[in-house]
Amino acid sequence: MLTRKFLTGLLFSTLFPASAALAAESTLVYCSVASPESFNPQLASSGPTFVASSQTLYNRLVTFDPKDNSPVPSLATSWTISPDGKTYTFTLRKGVKFNSNKYFTPTRDFNADDVIFSVMRQKDANNPYHNVSHGSYEYFNDLELSSLIKEVNKLDDYHVQFVLTKPDAAFLADWGMDFASILSAEYADAMLKKGTPEYVDTWPIGTGPYALQQYKVDSLIRYIANPNYWDGAVPTKHLIFSITPDVQTRLAKLEKNECQIIPAPSPVQFDAIKKDKDLTLHSIDGLSVGYLAFNTEKKPFDNVLVRQALNYAVDKKAIVDAVFMGSGTVAKSPIPPTMMGYKKDLPDYDYNPEKARALLKQAGFANGFETNLWSMPVQRPYNPNSRRIAEMIQSDWAKVGVKAKIVTWEWGEYLSGLRKGEHATALYGWMSDNGDPDNFADTLLSCGSIKSGSNAAHWCNKDYDALVTKAKETSDPATRAKLYQQAQTIFYQQAPWLTLANGKTFYATRSNVTGYSVSLMGSDFSKAKLN
């Protein structure tokens, strides 16, 4: 993964000629919440990175129907699955052009070689690109694709076959996720020969609606439209990301027309947005969950009684009422309520400080203890005000004798610290990548996801693991649902998280913006324009 030390001070520019003054009608400004970790989504795990890379510069084999989140064609026009569920054969789209940059101009269209390179870079430790840019493939490893994928075969230029070691019901949907973006094998070969393989990640070339033109860390990203985009003409020539971490500043920029789109406005801003005739507030029902993870590898959170006690100690409804203000509902499961396999009758921890104190006494902490509580530096639909949530949890825990010191870090350092397990407790959350319950139940809580970093609780329960693994290998939806429901019961009993809320996704635009859309899986700028 590209480190902030590596990126700081770099300026990527003049990939294409750029006018000093861009025509307003041909320029769209998006106020993003953070700098990207990388411009290669294979190496990243955060939402701001995916919006700035995979959702702008690249495409994947499949994308998702906005109505039901089912996989639909993108770079693959069709696919077949063998009766035993172990062989997937993709037919690839013809005539798809890659973008160019000042280091490289493609000589051919997208084909099977690009798919195989994009997979094998992540799978094969001997691939010359595997360790480039520190080679940490969190999503690929979380999904255990190295062991799942037995072979990737090029049948011809426009047919690729995946042979699996076992059936996997989520496999097709996985290839619509951000990490599955297709990179250029031809560009990779050229940069390897030149001795600059890292350019594949820092000067990206993809098939997406935009190409990277300029990047200044913590300031801006400038893109230029792909003139040969396979999915139709891109109406806005220049797209600019104005990196604006502060939620109040983002709204101020929107009001002044310095930005035309902002993500994740705070619920306290909704009324002001609605009252401004020049602005529009948008929302979609989200597949998301916000939570506080207990680091179960650290004392005293290796004790299930402590984890249960701190669940009882927190008034979740008060938090949702005060912070989400109608934009979220109380959560009790790692799986969102509208997703297959959600257990409606799963118990929840009611607000009961007396019971919390009793459990702490039983665990040997009658006088409480001291700990830290990590608070996210960014806003998300599942956590629109992390500092306020942390303060409310801190107050509730203090009532049962637990003193929590609130700490925070820059977003990249926060994510890195979670992966390394440096926290005792930490606020975090998840938004669906592929519309499948495996993306929550397995990705966030499996034993295998501890090593790759997405299991912030560092919790490994063999019984839970066996259930979610079996669910992934089962094609029948009803059987899968029952397995996930059984896994949720173990989750409730073991309490590796304090589940907080399922949030809606909100964004705001200038009223003259059309064509921009947000789905459960990300942002689409390809049709966005100013009227």
For the segment 182-222, what is each residue's pLDDT rounded down to a tens digit?
999 999 999 999 999 999 999 999 999 999 999 999 999 99
Residue at 292 is within a domain: yes
Same domain, 422 and 480: yes
Residue at 14 is within a domain: no
**How many domains is the chain built from?**
2
Biggest CA-to-CA distance, the chain: 71
Q: What is the pLDDT of residue 294?
A: 98
Q: What is the pLDDT of residue 25?
A: 58
pLDDT above 80: residue 16: no
CATH number of residue 181's parent domain? 3.90.76.10
Residue at 4 is within a domain: no
Q: Which two tokens stand for residue 64?
A: 């998702």
Q: What is the pLDDT of residue 7?
A: 41
Which region among 134-138, 181-185, 499-503, 527-531 has the lowest average model confidence (pLDDT)? 134-138
Q: What percent of the chain has pLDDT over 90?
A: 79
Region 259-271: mean pLDDT is 93
Q: What is the pLDDT of residue 181?
A: 98
Name the residue range of residue 353's domain: 285-504
378's CB contacts (< 8 A; 6+ apart) are: 33, 34, 48, 245, 386, 411
Residue at 51 is within a domain: yes
CATH number of residue 329's parent domain? 3.10.105.10
Same domain, 517 and 439: no
For the segment 131-180, what is each residue's pLDDT rounded down to a tens digit?
999 888 988 987 889 999 999 999 999 999 999 999 998 899 999 999 99
Look at strands 369-374 and 402-407 and give their pairing: parallel
Same domain, 199 and 316: no
Q: Which two tokens stand for residue 508?
A: 């705001």
Distance, CA of 471 to CA of 498 (rounded, Å): 24
Same domain, 302 and 433: yes
Q: Where are the beta strands (DSSP E) in 217-259?
A: 220-225, 238-243
pLDDT above 80: residue 14: no
Residue at 1 is within a domain: no
Same domain, 217 and 115: yes
Q: What is the pLDDT of residue 19?
A: 37
Same domain, 523 and 500: no
Same domain, 482 and 523: no
Distance, CA of 64 to CA of 250 (rounded, Å): 29
DSSP one-letter code for 183: P
Residue at 83 is within a domain: yes
Residue at 280 is within a domain: no
Region 250-255: mean pLDDT is 98
In single-letter form, the type of residue at position 16 comes to F
Same domain, 523 and 475: no
pLDDT above 50: residue 18: no
Region 108-118: mean pLDDT is 98
Q: What is the pLDDT of residue 451?
A: 82
pTM of the predicted protein model:
0.77
Same domain, 342 and 299: yes
Residue at 2 is within a domain: no
pLDDT above 60: residue 241: yes
Same domain, 340 and 411: yes
Helices 304-312, 353-362: crossing angle, 10 deg rounding: 160
For the segment 348-387, what is each residue's pLDDT rounded down to a tens digit?
999 999 999 999 999 999 999 999 999 999 888 899 899 9
Q: Backbone dihedral region of 342: left (phi > 0), alpha (psi from -120 to 50 degrees) or beta? A: beta
Same domain, 101 and 240: yes
The residue among 127 and 472 whose pLDDT is bigger is 127
Spell out the alpha helix ranges (H) of 411-522: 411-420, 438-441, 448-452, 462-472, 477-494
Residue 11's pLDDT band (cuts 50, 70, 90):
very low
Same domain, 228 and 339: no
